[in-house]
Amino acid sequence: MTTTLTELPDVALLLARGPQAVDLLQAQFTQELRDWPDGSARMAAMCTPQGRVLSDFLLWRESDGSIAMLLQRELQQPVAKRLRMFILRLRCTVEEPAAPRRVHGLLEPAGSPALLPELATEPWQVLTRPGLTCLRLPDAAGLRRTLLVESGERADSAAPWPAALAGSPAGRVQDWLLAGVRSGIAHVGSATSERFVPQMLNYDLLGLVDFQKGCYPGQEVVARTQYRGHVKRRLFRVLGAVPMAAGDEIYASADASQPCGMVVNSAPAEDGGWEALAELRMQALEQGELRLRGADGAPLRVGTLPYALPAEA
């Protein structure tokens, strides 16, 4: 695969501004945001009082001190409305950018010279260029992944690419999504919002949950799930021959009575098949073949993830 630059229309930004923006997000998100090293991004989740993930976010600080929150576009409005409910007397706002800010994904073969060498080593680094924020993501199957987000300082629509990026060929959204599946990091959309506690999406393993921070909605449920060993469902990578979509139910062939899991993210693969991140009841892995959308549906097989699951998985 060659280096590609792909516009990502399905993600959007919210901005938390003001001297108490951190206080607002600290009280609502699963992530610790008061002790946050400069030059780094963090992922977080927002949960219902029942501990179910409403949305996940990629967070970073803007040059004006505001906190940028990248999430699925279809959740932008409901999440903004919910966050504003908790502002009360806090001196902050939650708003959309004043002007559209395009987001692109940069995919580079891991063995090739990095077009942004400042970000070539570790994930979650942030590089700020005039008019552009570059965020290094975890690798996926031999690919370096970097997000490029236009800053609010730009008045024109031309992307402010560094010279090294300007000639990169346009990529396909499906290739970016496939790399995301292979990274093992699931993103919640409207079809899967409020379906899973963070551990079901492996968010505890990926650093999206800080179990030492103060309270947030759903914190008691999330902590009880962790410390009482009730993590009976986990996120797995599954492969199949037919298209899969977020919200599709998965069954074990030996039990047609109820689904044992659900597709969270999916993408077509190079071989004509499909790959997905799916939440599964771990016991179902021993209950016959996995099937899509019914016990007699298309067969699925479990692939590998780029990180280890706990012993109970």
Query: Tens-digit pLDDT profile for the chain (313 aa)?
Result: 789 999 999 999 999 999 999 999 999 999 999 989 989 999 999 999 999 999 999 999 998 999 999 999 999 999 999 999 999 999 999 999 998 899 999 999 998 999 999 887 889 999 998 889 999 999 998 999 999 999 876 545 555 667 667 778 999 999 999 999 999 999 999 999 999 999 999 999 999 999 999 899 999 999 998 888 768 999 999 999 999 999 999 999 888 889 999 999 999 999 999 999 999 999 888 878 999 999 999 999 999 999 999 876 4
C-beta contacts of 206-214 below 8 A and 24+ residues apart: 206/43, 206/307, 207/42, 207/43, 208/30, 208/31, 208/43, 208/44, 208/45, 208/56, 209/30, 209/31, 209/45, 210/30, 210/31, 210/32, 212/32, 213/26, 213/31, 213/32, 214/26, 214/27
Output the pLDDT for position 214. Answer: 86
Which domains, ranges and CATH numbers included, belong to the chain? Answer: 232-305 (2.40.30.110)
Output the pLDDT for position 155. Answer: 43
Separation of alpha carbons 91 and 21, rounded Å: 7
Output the pLDDT for position 60. Answer: 97
Work out whether strand 290-292 and strand 249-252 pair parallel, antiparallel, or are unpaired: antiparallel
Separation of alpha carbons 49 and 229, rounded Å: 20
Separation of alpha carbons 143 and 28, rounded Å: 33
Amino acid, res. 42: R
Task: Say if CB 223 and CB 51 are below 8 A apart.
Answer: no
Output the pLDDT for position 194. Answer: 98
Separation of alpha carbons 50 and 298, rounded Å: 33
pTM listed for this prediction: 0.94
Task: Say if CB 144 and CB 110 are below 8 A apart.
Answer: yes
**Residue 37 burial (C-beta neighbours within 10 Å; 0-12, 13-18, 19+):** exposed
Q: Enumerate residues 6+ apart whose C-beta is below 8 A from 57.
A: 29, 43, 44, 45, 46, 69, 70, 71
